[in-house]
A and B are shown apart, each in its own frame.
Chain A
Amino acid sequence: MPDPSTSSPKIRVVLAKLGLDGHDRGIKVVARILRDAGMEVIYLGLRQTTASIVAAAEQEDADAIGLSMHNAGHLTLAPAMLAALDEAELDIPVIIGGIVPDDDVEVLLVTGVAAVLGPGAPAADVVAAVRDVVVS
C-alpha cells in the first residue's frame, strides 16, 4: 500500500510535439530519460494542438508539460500554449525542447516558459529541469 508520508509523489509529465513536423526521435528519447528517472510520462506524440495538450494536461493532472519543437515555430506556438493554459486556468509549468536560438531562449523565458532545453541536452539536465520547475 502506498504510504504518502514516506514516498514523494510521482511526477507526471505530459510530453507532446506541438505543430506539424513529423520528427519524434528527440521526444521519445526524453520520454525514456524521464521514465528512467522514475517519472510518469503521458506521451501524446506528434501533431498535437494547444487544445489537445490542454485537455490532456487537465485530465492527467500533469505536474509539467514538455513540448518538443523543431520547426522554428516556438515564438508563436509557445505563447499560444501558455495563453491556452491560462484560459483553462491551469497553472502548469511548460518546458520547451528543441533548436531554439539563444536570443529566443530569453524571449521565451520572459514570456513565461519555465525552461528551455537544447537538442542534445544530457539526461541529467533534462531530469533536473523537470524537477526544478515542478518544485518551484
Chain B
Amino acid sequence: MSVRNLPVEELVARALEGNRRAVGRLLTLVERGGTDADEIADLAHQQARGAHIVGITGAPGAGKSTLTGQLTRLLPEMGVAPAVLAVDPSSPLTGGAILGDRIRMDNIAGEGTFIRSVATRGHAGGLALSVPGCVRVFDAAGFDPVIIETVGVGQVEVDVVAAADTTVVVVNPGWGDAVQANKAGLLEVADIFVINKADRPGASDTRRDLELMLDLSHVSGLEDDSGYRPPILMTTATDGEGVAAVWDSVLAHREHLTSSGQLSTRQAARLRYEITNRVEAQLHVEASAAIDRADLSEALSPIKLAAQITDRLLRD
C-alpha cells in the first residue's frame, strides 16, 4: 500500500518502526514546509534519540560526496546505520535542480544507509528550516550518525553544517585552497580538516597553510578555550584511503564535546539557531502581509512609513 495518503501521525509511527518509505515521505513533507512540516518536526522532536550530527562542507567538487559515500560504507560495518542529507543548489532561473551527489555514494554505501538529496529551492531561508526538520526525522527513525553535505559557498549552506555537532571541512591540495576556505568562512567552523585528493601533488603545502592559519587563530584568541585544535587529515576518498581515520577523528571530537561539556552548549546553540530561523520565517510572512496591506503611497517618508508598519505589526 502506498504511504502517500497516510496522515502525518501514521507516517511518523511507521517511520519509528523503521519503515523507509514512511521516512522518505516525511522528508518530502518537511521539505515542503507549512503545517504538516511543523507537526512532523514536533512529533519527531518528542522521539529524539540524540544522533550525532556531522556536517561536511567544502568547495564544489572537493570530494564531499565521495568521502561521505566511503563513510557510509564503513559505518554499517561498525554496526551503525547512517543517514545522509545531501544538499545541492537549485537553479535560480527555473527552480529545478539536478541532484548528483548519489552518483558518488550509491555504489559504495553500505546496507542500511539512507541517502536523501535535497535542493536549496531558491529561498535560502527554506533550507535553514527544512534541514533541521529532516535531521529530526532521521534521528527519530533511529539513524545515527546523520551526515549533512552542503557546498561551502553561501551563508546558509555554511550555517546549516556549522550547526552540526561535528563539522568537517574538506579542502584539496594546491596552492591557495586553504586560503579560499578561509575566505569562505569555513576555517572558523571546522572541527576537523580533511585534505582530500591527497593523491595529487601539493597536499603537504595545504597542510602547512592550514597549520599556519590554526596557529594564527590561536594567537588571536579565536581558538576555542578548551584547547581543542582541529586535526588535519589526508584522504584519497576515491579509494577510501584515510577515511577510517576521519571517522576516528569524529568520534574523538564527540568525546571532547562530551568531556568538556560543550556538547550541551552546541546543542543549545543549534536549538537557538532553529528557533531563530522559525521566528524569522514567521515574522517574514507577517511582515510581507502587513506591507501588502499598507498604503505605500502615503505622504510619509519611506523611513517613517516602515517604522509605522513595524509598530503596527508588533502591536497586533
A5 to B126, CA, bound (A): 16
With A36-B96, A45-B103 known to touch, is A89 a contact of B21 (CB < 8 Å)?
yes
User: Is the pair A91, B2 in contact by a Cβ cutoff of 8 Å?
Assistant: yes
User: Is the pair B32, A38 in contact by a Cβ cutoff of 8 Å?
Assistant: no
Stretch among A52-60, A70-78, A94-102 lining the B interface:
A52-60
A12 to B24, CA, bound (A): 12
User: Is the pair B106, A2 in contact by a Cβ cutoff of 8 Å?
Assistant: no
A88 to B33, CA, bound (A): 27
Interface hub of A2, A56, A91 (most chain B Cβ within 10 A)? A2
For chain B, residues 50 to 95, give those with C-beta under 8 angstroms from any C-beta of chain A.
90-91, 94-95
Stretch among B41-49, B110-118, B197-205 lining the A interface:
B110-118
Identity of the chain A residue whose Cβ is nearest the Cβ of B114 in the assembled complex: A59
User: Is the pair A1, B129 in contact by a Cβ cutoff of 8 Å?
Assistant: yes
Main secondary structure of the interface of A (DSSP, over half): mixed
For chain A, residues 1 to 50, give those with C-beta under 8 angstroms from any C-beta of chain B.
1-5, 9-10, 12, 31-32, 34-45, 48
User: Is the pair B20, A58 in contact by a Cβ cutoff of 8 Å?
Assistant: yes
User: Is the pair B96, A44 in contact by a Cβ cutoff of 8 Å?
Assistant: no
User: Is the pair B24, A60 in contact by a Cβ cutoff of 8 Å?
Assistant: yes
User: Is the pair B121, A42 in contact by a Cβ cutoff of 8 Å?
Assistant: no
User: Is the pair A44, B119 in contact by a Cβ cutoff of 8 Å?
Assistant: no
For the complex formed, measure the closest distance between the CB of B89 and the CB atoms of chain A, giving whole angstroms: 11
Interface hub of A12, A39, A48, A59 (most chain B Cβ within 10 A)? A59
User: Is the pair B123, A34 in contact by a Cβ cutoff of 8 Å?
Assistant: no
User: Is the pair A89, B117 in contact by a Cβ cutoff of 8 Å?
Assistant: no
Is A123's beta carbon under 8 Å from chain B?
A: no
Is B25's beta carbon under 8 Å from chain A?
A: yes
User: Is the pair A61, B28 in contact by a Cβ cutoff of 8 Å?
Assistant: yes
> What residues of B have a CB within 8 angstroms of the CB of A32 in the complex?
98
Identity of the chain A residue whose Cβ is nearest the Cβ of B28 in the assembled complex: A61
User: Is the pair B24, A61 in contact by a Cβ cutoff of 8 Å?
Assistant: yes
Interface hub of B36, B114, B119, B284 (most chain A Cβ within 10 A)? B119
Of B91, B281, B282, which one neighbours A35 at CB under 8 angstroms?
B91
Is B34's beta carbon under 8 Å from chain A?
A: yes
Closest 6 CB pairs between A and B?
A35-B96, A2-B33, A61-B24, A4-B34, A1-B281, A61-B28
Sample 14 A-B pairs with CB under 8 A, ordered by A number. A3-B33, A3-B34, A4-B34, A4-B36, A10-B121, A32-B98, A40-B97, A41-B97, A42-B102, A43-B99, A56-B115, A58-B21, A58-B24, A90-B21
**A interface, CB within 8 angstroms of B:** 1-5, 9-10, 12, 31-32, 34-45, 48, 52, 55-56, 58-61, 88-91
**B interface, CB within 8 angstroms of A:** 1-2, 4, 20-21, 23-25, 27-28, 32-34, 36, 90-91, 94-100, 102-103, 106-107, 114-117, 119, 121, 123, 125-126, 129, 281-282, 284-285
